[in-house]
Structure 1
Amino acid sequence: MAKLDPIVSEFASTQDAEAYDAWFRAEVEASLSDLSPGIPHDQVMAELHAIIAAKA
């Protein structure tokens, strides 16, 4: 297991980097395959503003 330089990579080893890459690619593929309707930007922003206002 090769160790990676922290300046070059955020992962401790090539095995960690490859595992993350495989996980990330699977997440992207699942998202692209999801046929459920998206949430409009304005709705998301309104919900977030309500959450922020409630915490203030």
Structure 2
Amino acid sequence: MPGAAAACGGDARETVKAPLVANDFLEAQVDELRGAVSSGYARGRHGARQDRQE
């Protein structure tokens, strides 16, 4: 059993769900930190969130 699946007890749904939940948490942290950084320090680089197209 691969590492991620083993960490989730072999449950395929939980294996897929775990990184999605972690990503949501990290995105919330980034949004909170962007609000805490002064606009002068960031020089306007962190305005409204823009989704990248990759």
TM-score, reference length from structure 1: 0.45
Quick check: which has more Rg, 1 or 2? 1
Higher RCO (C-alpha under 8 Å, 6+ residues apart): 1
TM-score (norm 2): 0.46
